[in-house]
Amino acid sequence: MKIGMIGLGKMGGNMARRLRGAQIEVVGYSRDVAEAQALADACGLIVAESSEHLVELLSPPRIVWLMLPAGEATETTINQLKGLLETGDLIVDGANSNYKDSVRRGEILSESGIDFVDAGVSGGVWGLENGYTLMVGGQAEAVGILKPALEVLAPAADRGWLHTGGVGSGHFTKMVHNGIEYGMMQAYAEGFSLLEASDDFDLDIADIAEVWRHGSVIRSWLLDLTHEVLAEDSNLSAIEPVVADSGEGRWTSIAGIEMGIPTPVITAALMARFSTQGKQDFAAKLLAMMRNQFGGHAVSQSSAGDD
């Protein structure tokens, strides 16, 4: 089996390494030439100089797996590949793309006889060692062609990957997965914040995280990672309190609204992330001034405004 991979960053690069470990040939292209060459030296990846060169190095039916940022980068590359690939070839999008984009792309590519699979990929930087959870949408025939690679990338050949249904279902499933992740992370963060703020007891929150990992109903891999963080620095003194959101949580909340399915925990976790990004600063200032106006409550003045 031979696969082309475009995008060799943290996820794409480690996926290429895992495929090579099972003796699957990988042709890789990255705009970062040094990144591609490092992988070639490490695992025997074949370096392509461009997307066109990558297609030339593959034999029909070609498989091209994209691990690019969702949005414009993925859209541009798929449009480019549409003009390079032939009937029977297959494009796999392993990014966190919006499932509606995946449905649209699948329809457009099918008009040219090109198969399309949307693969939701979970596992992060640990996937190389532990394997990746794969949620795969597409036609059964296309998924069948991809099956040997899926069995290698997953934690085991018979578990950790699933053909979820038609095109778009893989990214829809991954979107909901990430929405759940938002809620779980927020619950852990709030709980440990309560423990850390307690003045009544001398609590070691790293030790509490450790004991919860064994037999507790809230044990999870996220808790394992939380324990590692707290064991290293329980005060998190070097960390800025800013949490980005990649888009998946937004899409999950929007889907809940569109479908009339309540998702209050996921949506609240998303709003909590927004609150760390400076986007509610004006609202907080206005709230402070409202309290000052009706109750004469003191207002904290910013030093930036002092002369």
CA atoms within 13 A on the CB side of 226: 25
CB 226 within 8 A of CB 218: no
CB 230 within 8 A of CB 239: no
Q: Active-site residue among 181, 196, 232, 248?
A: 181
Q: Which residues of 111-137 are buried (b: 16+ CB within 10 A; e: fewer)?
A: eeebbbbbbbbebeeebbeebbbbbbb
Instruction: Give the sign of the dihedral formed by CA 53, CA 101, CA 151, CA 143.
Output: negative
Q: What residues are paired with 91 via a beta bridge?
A: 64, 116
Of 174, 76, 102, nearest in space to 134 by CA? 174
User: How far, in Å, CA of 8 to CA of 27, rounded?
Assistant: 11
Q: What residues are paired with 4 via a beta bridge?
A: 27, 64
Q: Is residue 11 left, alpha or beta, with left meaning phi > 0 and alpha meaning psi from -120 to 50?
A: alpha
User: How far, in Å, CA of 263 to CA of 302, rounded?
Assistant: 37
Of 121, 222, 219, nearest in space to 177 by CA? 121
Reduced to 3 states, what is the DSSP secondary structure of residue 132? coil
190 belongs to the catalytic site = no
75 belongs to the catalytic site = no
Cite the active site residues.
174, 181
